[in-house]
Structure 1
Amino acid sequence: MSKDKMELKPTKIRPISRRNHLFFSLLGFTAVFVGLILQEYSLKLPGLILLVAGLATLMLGFFKWREPEFSFELNEQHFIWHLKQGSLEIAWDNIIDLRPLAVNKGQGKTELYYLGLKLWNLTPIIENVPLRMAKSLYHEYRSLLHVALLEAQFRGDDVNQLQEDADHWIDQQGLKVTDLKGVFAARLHQLKLFLGADLYLPVTSLDRNQGDFIELFLSFKQQYELNK
């Protein structure tokens, strides 16, 4: 390694959404246990309320526990996105930028709870994304489709293409992609027209404020460029 190159230390991001899963699980279990005891002592209503609240808290802890321990990983060659439905590796040389997303609202702008990832080429993403992950993101991005529709209406743009569910996608080489991956890619294409990004990373997947994460992300990208 030349003296001009820098050694990158892999960094893993723990999602905020997974925090306190053990606390909520124990709290829920305790509430359920106490609720059952109250039921035995004929305190039906308080016991029932505590039982229902405990079950809800226990389920919250369970769903937090099911989230992957790490949401993102940054290393020398890739940015890796982890979901419970699978993982996706994105090469640094396919990444253009990462930035906060904002849309027009009234007289100003409002930020979305997503960071926008811009890519040079979507094809490697569609080729490598696990099917379960593509399906999960397709449904998650429905809310962003509504945001894109409002943004298009604000600009006075044609909204017809946003109101249609395309069943395929044409890549940069003119190849037609169908089935689930084609539908997912078509949804990403729709969103990019009005929100300007290729992928959308929820800020609840971060372990720090979004400004600090973007700074970390871009520093890895810049160091990758220096080390090539």
Structure 2
Amino acid sequence: MDNKNAILKVRAQASRHGIEFLLVGGIGLVFIMLFNLLRPGEISIVEIFLVSSCLAAIFVGFFKTQEPYYSFTYTNQLLIYHHKVGHWQLKRENFHHSGVPKVEQGLEYLELNAVGIKLNNIDEFLTQIHPRIAGRLLIEQRHIFMQVVQKHCKNGNCPSEWLVEETDYTAPSGQLYKGLIAMFANRTQHLRQLTGYDLLLPANALDTDIWQFSADLNRWKLNPSEFINTRLQKDVSN
């Protein structure tokens, strides 16, 4: 039976197996230290390598546990993106379509390792995003944005506003934004100009590959109830 109030929560690849990494790294480190204490002689190169591997596993596990357990929540009317410093939400009516951004590379096109979202109304989105997550996304996604800029500035002459976002932005509605929200808005404007999309969703925040996730978003847009219930039934069967 179709459930009009169903909610689908999606877990990101980035948050998976954090506890497992911590346990394996911690147990391995304790075992190696005990082994080295109980046997005579100096520590070997192999033991140093194993200790380094265990420490690396502990660090990876720690950072994974800092990520939100769920990265996306779907409802019939909202898409919510969860980040470790906050979240943003997008109304279904404001979602135009999604796809994989591409930039020209010679005679071919380079696909970015992210999913792009085109909005119907950027002003509506800006009114609900918090400056803290806006600032963090500006930093985290800069390397993806610079890939786009570099492909459009092969001669090295890039517009200055592409390289450093301005701290003032006037929305189509006439609303004036300042600070981090304005910088984020200017980034979205440049992204749309260069790729046709306003927002980027990095691959490590997704539960599938970028092409499948993009298709899922478009399915949610067309028929949210059917998409959510199909996914919930699939998750139960698995």
TM-score by length of 2: 0.83
SS of residue matched to 1:117: strand
* Structure-2 change in CA distance of 1:198 and 1:76 (3 Å): same
* Structure-2 change in CA distance of 1:219 and 1:163 (3 Å): closer
In the TM superposition, what are the counterparts of 1:1-228 in structure 2 within 5 Å?
A: 7=4, 9-40=6-37, 41=39, 42-45=41-44, 46-153=46-153, 159-223=159-223
Q: Tell me, in whole angstroms, the C-alpha distance in 1 between the residues paired with 2:195 and 2:94.
A: 19
Q: Tell me, in whole angstroms, the C-alpha distance in 1 between the residues paired with 2:97 and 2:52.
A: 46
TM-score by length of 1: 0.86
Q: Percent identity?
A: 23
Q: Deviations over 1:135-183 (max 9, x none)?
A: 1101012113312222322599963431343111111122221122112
Q: Deviations over 1:96-120 (max 9, x none)?
A: 0011111111321121111110001
Deviation at 1:8, TM superposition (A): 6.1
Query: What is the aligned length?
Result: 222
Q: Which piece of structure 1 moves more, 36-45 or 98-107?
A: 36-45
In structure 1, the gaps of 5 or more residues are none
Q: Which piece of structure 1 moves more, 103-112 or 61-70?
A: 103-112
Deviation at 1:187, TM superposition (A): 2.0
In structure 2, the gaps of 5 or more residues are 227-238
**Would the aligned equivalents of 2:76 and 2:225 in 1 still touch at CA under 8 Å?**
no
Q: Which piece of structure 1 moves more, 87-96 or 147-156?
A: 147-156
**Would the aligned equivalents of 1:86 and 1:133 in 2 still touch at CA under 8 Å?**
yes
Q: Deviations over 1:27-82 (max 9, x none)?
A: 11022212322442444244433322211110100111111111111111101101
Q: Tell me, in whole angstroms, the C-alpha distance in 1 between the residues paired with 2:213 and 2:8.
A: 11
SS of residue matched to 1:59: helix
Letter paired with 1:221? K
Q: Tell me, in whole angstroms, the C-alpha distance in 2 between the residues paired with 1:192 and 1:211.
A: 19
Q: Tell me, in whole angstroms, the C-alpha distance in 2 between the residues paired with 1:7 and 1:120.
A: 24
Q: Tell me, in whole angstroms, the C-alpha distance in 2 between the residues paired with 1:136 and 1:225.
A: 32
Q: Which piece of structure 1 moves more, 107-116 or 43-52?
A: 43-52
**Would the aligned equivalents of 1:10 and 1:75 in 2 still touch at CA under 8 Å?**
yes
Number of the residue aligned with 2:232: none
Q: Tell me, in whole angstroms, the C-alpha distance in 2 between the residues paired with 1:59 and 1:93.
A: 41
